[in-house]
Chains A and B, each alone.
Chain A
Amino acid sequence: MNVLGLVNYWAFIFLMMVGFYILISQGNLIKKIVGLSVFQTSVFILYISMGKIRGGTAPILMEGDPVYSNPLPHVLILTAIVVGVATTALGLSLVVRIHEAYGTVEEDEIHDLDVAEAE
């Protein structure tokens, strides 16, 4: 097994897991959304690194006969980046709405307020 060829995937998995940890361990809703976007960006890098060919160049047609990297992951990730921003915008506007209703964006305090209201 060629371990060196897999090290880049492990680096991106580490980044992904940092984002995931921010997402599930932090109580602040804005911090959670930032963690989600760190997670997303790491997935993007993972995809782009799969499209790379050693010694390749950007897929813009040129004279001569160069090796081009695979354009397909680039297209998929272009779409994903824009969709990611759309989700971030929606999530942040939900945070603003939650702040308006509860006066806080800390998950623990929101839970306490809910419990107090139920009693």
Chain B
Amino acid sequence: MKEELIVSGRMNHMVDPNLHIWHWQIPLYLFLGGMAAGILCIAALYFIRGREKDYRTAVRITPFLAPGLLVLGLIALFFDLRHKLFFWQLYTNIRLQSPMSWGAWALMVITPVSFIWCALHMRDLFPRWDWKYRWLKELEKFFNKYKKALAWVMLIYGIILGIYTGILLSAFNARPLWNTSILGPLFLASGLSAGAAATLLLSKNKEERKQFARIDLVIIGIELFLIVHMFMGFLASTQVQIDAANLFLGGPYTATFWIFVIFLGMLIPALLEIMELRKFYVPALVPAVLVIFGSFMLRFIIVYAGQMSRWLY
């Protein structure tokens, strides 16, 4: 049998024998950012469509999670940087070809917007809330007047943020597993399903819960469709991408991917939600937590497995 033996004298820390430059911080951030994007997109969409009354939790309550998620995500991102004191360089440069630059600027827009959105709904959480100062009240009036514009900004930047978490990875052709444009829509869908699950978790309204169980079901369907297409694309591509797919089809990530992401994160919650819609009693907590967990695991596994996938020469 013809064989090839490659011996390399290079042994750079965090680069060899496998790349392991990105650790828990990046997938954690991708998950938190994606979920916040999902929550904000759903809130903005229902507000713009004038369905605020029917889906009060989704528009007014769930978004309170978003600023927290975004800030935690930013802290995780900061931990990832190795030259931390120079982080501000992100905001003195606009680099259109760099997904990370897009992400940094999108966060710069959507984080304050999410805080403003929450501030406008403080009275929903605390009925006796009062903005003590006059200028704060003026500010509230101002933003209430332009709430629809704010919702549009939130929707558009939410979509950018959700897609960018995937594009960030798919822009790297050096890592064949990441190098598929399906990751953008897949991560957006996964973020939206986590966002829908958050409302499912928080809502006390039966009709709203039903609607969000339905939304989750549809998005899980879309995610499964995208994952199947991702594998079809890989297996029909070059050897390096076939190898990348094989990380999940018999390779070291097979069990974790199929058990945690597909089975526990998508199939089981989908089944439970179908049961709920068919009037069986299912505690809303279970499918919602499973969906959020699956969305988290998807990013972890893709980020770690991607660093194992490479060109051999």
Check if A and B associate. no
List the interface of chain B (C-beta within 8 A of A). Answer: none
List the interface of chain A (C-beta within 8 A of B). Answer: none
